[in-house]
Structure 1
Amino acid sequence: MPRLRIDLAYNGAYFHGWAAQPGLRTVEGELSDALSTILRRPVSITVAGRTDAGVHARHQVAHIDVDEAETELLSVRRLQGLLTQSYSRLWGQEPIASSLSKLESRSGMADIWLKTVTHVSPDFDARFSALSRRYCYRIADAASVIDPIERSNIWWNTGAELDIDAMRKAAEVLLGEHDFLSFCRPREGATTIRTLKELAVERGDVIEICPQADAFCHSMVRSLVGALVEVGRGRRNRDWFIELVSTPCRKHGVPIVPARGLTLEGVEYPEEAQWASRAAQARNRREGAHNL
């Protein structure tokens, strides 16, 4: 069957995460409804990373399988139109309505935005073919320059200024392949071993903590950030991070920061010739695991 790759972005503020849930508004639910309306059948969507409630995505990737006749029915314009109509109907039905949001809906805006819909070979798997995912968590502390326009994707931590140097030194401990059980909500039968390729901690107008890994366990990114914030506040030190890695377990009590500051920035894939081999390798290692 032909396979379509869908590249999209979304504001997670009014979603209960990616995964479809009965009676709740989710990204997968909205996208699936739009696709099913066009194709007139149920649609199964595979995604690179299942984001939690309130988490945003600047660049998410998914795929669906269709038959030859259906490929002519799907277009970015048609899909986006249905997503915008659904977003418009949201206002007036929930207490989160505002004049700005109503104006956005009338102007053709939506909180899911499609970038491209492209034909790919069946070797492509949005989840398992991925080499890595990159997230960024944004924090405003006492030393930050607050931009109210960006308020929906920043955690407003109004306490004292965080110690960035101490956070960077602690972050170095986590780089490489480790069992990240101390930072994950494990799923039975799924591995918590991941390879953390990068964990940057930078201060601009706000603090940005940006991890990149082959994949992430459920709540792993927000736990990584929560642990680093504890170090930045002076409550923990680098030795604690060494313990979290050397004796991985859930008893360490690593805090989880709120979802609103987290954004999926992008997903990296190999060249087309390597899609199938990469998917087979990742599936053998992590089949059944959640990717955040």
Structure 2
Amino acid sequence: MILFPGTPPHWSSPFASIERMRLRIDLGYDGGGFYGWARQPELRTVQGEIEAAIRKVLHVRADDPESPEIRLVVAGRTDTGVHALHQVCHLDIDEDVLARAVGHMNVTPEVALERRLQRMLPDDIAIHRIRRAPNGFDARFSALERTYVYRVCDNGRFVDPRIRGFVVAIDETLDMDAMNQAAALTIGLHDFGSFATPNPGGTTIREVKYARWHRADPGVALHGGAASGGYGEPVPYAETGLLCFTIVADAFARNMVRSLVNGCLQVGRGRKDVDWFAQKMAEPKREGSTGPAAAKGLTLEYVAYPPDDQLAERAQAIRAVRTL
């Protein structure tokens, strides 16, 4: 058996017995041009674009029932217009099919697939890395926590044109202290039925580990020779002054983050008070004033996983229906 440089010793040749393997794919995307993550007929989605590119690289025909299935399983489905700095998904595939990506490259099949997808996919999707997943890994169920950030430009200030695609502009000056009083009420294990929609057979019970609004630090970047006392003027970082909401949870129900953001924004604008928010947390009942905020302000920043020897145990535990 010939091994490519850097090939793990357990990698099986496509000319030996065929084995099924799981790949972990780390990626990011600008969600502005997509109808969310999940594949939908006739609509442009992140999953649809990546699966189509994988089929092209591996010479797999979508209309051939005899062809292997190409289906990505993601850590968390993002809605229409929501972005991801660091998303994770997995793909189960036969070794011999994956080997088609190698061609004339002197690399492992997973590296070959990574390089070909990086060149083939549109500019609003970036493949960070593709590697063989450890035993027990499930992109969705093995995840320990997900981190989202929602970015707001308030007080009628202009939005830096470079970041306008992932920032929501608001004319009012928001009361950050009041918003943080509301956000603090979400921490812990709660039924978020006032702010989320359950999946079929699921619940809106989730555990929030961190939730806080903060102003982006007014740091400056120096261009030209200013750093050494020469020419140039100080330039503010693109996110300086933005009001950012960071929330970390084991998982999120549908529309949960954007609806919590909308609730906080209503408090920050003075339209509702913290007691109103507390009542919504105490009585998990969906109603019109807790609908989701605009999608473009939301970014999935990070997905965390346990050590490899705990992946399977975590996946099994998280599949259980949660209760309070």
Report the TM-score, using the length of structure 1 for normalisation: 0.86
| Structure 2 counterpart of 1:242 | 278
Whole-Å separation in 1 of the counterparts to 2:212 and 2:184: 9
* Partner residue of 2:94 out of 67, 76, 101: 67
CA-atom RMSD in angstroms: 1.4
Give 1:33's aligned amino acid. A
The secondary structure found in structure 2 opposite 1:196 is: strand
Written as runs of structure 1 = structure 2, the 5 A alignment for 1:1-292 is: 1-39=20-58, 40=60, 41-72=68-99, 73=101, 74=110, 75-83=113-121, 87=122, 110-142=123-155, 144=157, 146-157=159-170, 159-204=171-216, 205-251=241-287, 253-285=289-321
Separation in 2, partners of 1:112, 1:258: 21
In the alignment, the residues of structure 1 paired with residue 201 and residue 139 of structure 2 have an alpha-carbon distance, to the nearest angstrom, of 22
Structure 1 distance, partners of 2:47, 2:161, is 29
Q: Which residue identity does 1:7 align to in structure 2?
A: D
- Higher deviation after alignment, 24-33 or 244-253: 244-253
Kindly indicate which of the two structures has a greater share of residues assigned to helix.
Answer: 1
User: How high is the sequence identity, in percent, across the aligned residues?
Assistant: 45
Q: What do the CA deviations read for 1:25-47 (whole angstroms, capped 9, x no partner)?
A: 00000000011122314301100
TM-score, length-scaled by structure 2: 0.77
Deviates more, 1:181-190 or 1:140-149: 140-149
CA gap of 1:6–1:267, structure 2 versus 1, over 3 A, is same
Instruction: Please report how far the alpha carbon of residue 145 of structure 1 lies from its aligned counterpart in structure 2 after TM superposition.
Output: 6.2
**One-letter amino acid of the structure 2 residue matched with residue 123 of structure 1:** G
Q: Which 4+ stretches in 1 moved above 4 angstroms?
A: none
Go from structure 1 to structure 2 and tell me whether the alpha carbon gap of 1:146 and 1:251 turns closer, same or farther (over 3 Å shift).
Answer: closer
Q: CA deviation at 1:144?
A: 4.9
- Secondary structure of 1:285's partner? coil
Work out the number of aligned pairs and report it. Answer: 260
Report which of the two structures shows the higher radius of gyration computed on alpha carbons.
2
Secondary structure of 2:200's aligned partner: coil
Letter in 1 for 2:200: E
Q: Which runs of 5+ in 2 are unaligned?
A: 1-19, 61-67, 102-109, 217-240
Q: CA separation in 2, counterparts of 1:42 and 1:188?
A: 25
Distance in 2 (CA, whole Å) between partners of 1:161 and 1:67 is: 55
CA displacement 1:122-169 (0-9 Å, x = unmatched): 410000000000000000111656321100000111x21000011011
Q: Distance in 2 between matches of 1:81 and 1:225?
A: 36
> For residues 145 and 69 of structure 2, what CA distance do their matches in structure 1 show?
29
**CA displacement, residues 184-219 of structure 1 (integer Å, 9 cap, x when unaligned):** 022332111000001110012111011110000000
User: 1:92-151 deviations in whole A, cap 9, x for unaligned?
Assistant: xxxxxxxxxxxxxxxxxx110000000013410000000000000000111656321100
